[in-house]
Structure 1
Amino acid sequence: MTTFDNREQAFETKYAHDEEMQFKAQARCNKMLGLWAARLLGKTGADAEAYARDVIKSDFEEAGFEDVLRKVSGDLDGLASPEDVREKRAALLPEAKAQILNSMP
């Protein structure tokens, strides 16, 4: 392999790693958002964990955050506005990213 090939492979590996970390951070953020919403809904324990998993799954409906926003806002129905949900997610995302980075070996 040439130096160029090695460099290209390194960039591709870094890109794949960065994408994986972003995916994990988004999933962690969605879980945290789901647990927050579960508390507002009065869910605890296994029910809260199950709800958080449903929130994570809702993110696979379409690209972006709108699918999660629709689910959580719809479920909260008056307990929190869509703007509240967006603000909470914005606050949780840096925390989720930090948790992912800190959990790396």
Structure 2
Amino acid sequence: MTSFHERERAFENKFAHDAEMQFKAVARRNKRLGLWAAELLGKTGEDADAYAAEVVRADFEEPGHEDVIRKLVADLGARADEATIRATMDRLLSEVKAEMLRDG
């Protein structure tokens, strides 16, 4: 019976670890996405960092990333369309996950 409980605990620990890693990856992706958008908006330095923090906070409005997309579509206007934003989100998430795997 202990073997079953050990496997169950290991599965629970892995699930919690994976969820934490996904949360961190999405938060990092959102920060980089915010910096990308800030550059398109002509923001630099502290203004760019503050805008990136706004993008990270926008992700807490509802589950999923549609809240972030809505914010960026509204803020960027003609500077980037929704398809470009979504493609950038995907690319940045892949980059962040690869970095996290590489860095351990």
TM-score class, shorter-chain normalisation, is over 0.9
* CA distance in structure 1 between the partners assigned to 2:9 and 2:79 by the alignment: 49
* CA RMSD across the alignment: 1.1
Q: Does 1:45 find its partner at 2:49?
A: no
State how many pairs are aligned.
104
Off by >6 Å, runs of 4+ in structure 1 = none
Whose helix proportion is higher, 1 or 2?
A: 2
Letter in structure 2 aligned against 1:50: A
Structure 1 unaligned blocks of 5 or more: none
Give the 5 Å matches for 1:1-105: 2-104=2-104
3-state DSSP of counterpart to 1:77:
helix
8 Å contact 1:24–1:100 — kept in the other structure?
no
The TM-score normalised by the length of structure 2 is: 0.95
The TM-score normalised by the length of structure 1 is: 0.94
Are the structure 2 counterparts of residues 49 and 91 from structure 1 closer, same or farther at C-alpha, using a change threshold of 3 Å? Answer: same
3-state DSSP of counterpart to 2:60:
coil
Structure 2 unaligned blocks of 5 or more: none
Q: Could you tell me the percent identity over the aligned residues?
A: 58
